[in-house]
Amino acid sequence: MWRDFFLKYKLFYVFKPPKSHQWYWVWIEVYEHDMYAVKFHLKAHRDSKDKYKLMTRLNEARPVINTCIAIMQAIANVNPRASFGFIGANMHAW
């Protein structure tokens, strides 16, 4: 479905949860028709072709997901017509 929409631009966010102190990069892909796709990975994996597939084993899913939701809420406050999706990938062990 996403390939049917034209990618307009990307937004970039960075955050560091207090538990691991590892930086995460969050990319928000902005498509036509107010569609937004949320993608994230560890900064340390930025050069890996599998960056979105790698498991971190840091056990901090809650702060990562909560941060993504906070970003989505901030975007929705600016654009009430925004629709969001997460882009998933098959997992690989780190």
10-residue mean pLDDT profile of the chain (94 residues): values are: 78 95 96 94 95 89 94 98 83 56
Instruction: Give the per-residue pLDDT at 40.
Output: 94
- Within a domain: 50: yes
- Run of H or E residues at 73: helix 61-78
pLDDT at residue number 5: 72
Beta strands (DSSP E) in the chain are: 7-15, 24-31, 35-42, 83-86
Give the number of domains in the chain.
1
Cα–Cα dist 26/11, whole Å: 8
pTM of the complete model: 0.85
Contact 45, 10 (CB under 8 A): no
Q: Is residue 93 part of a domain?
A: no
45: helix, strand or coil: helix
Please check whether residue 15 lies inside any domain of the structure: yes
Q: How many CA atoms lie within 13 A of 44 on its CB side?
A: 10
d(CA 7, CA 36): 9
For residue 82, being part of any structural domain is answered with yes
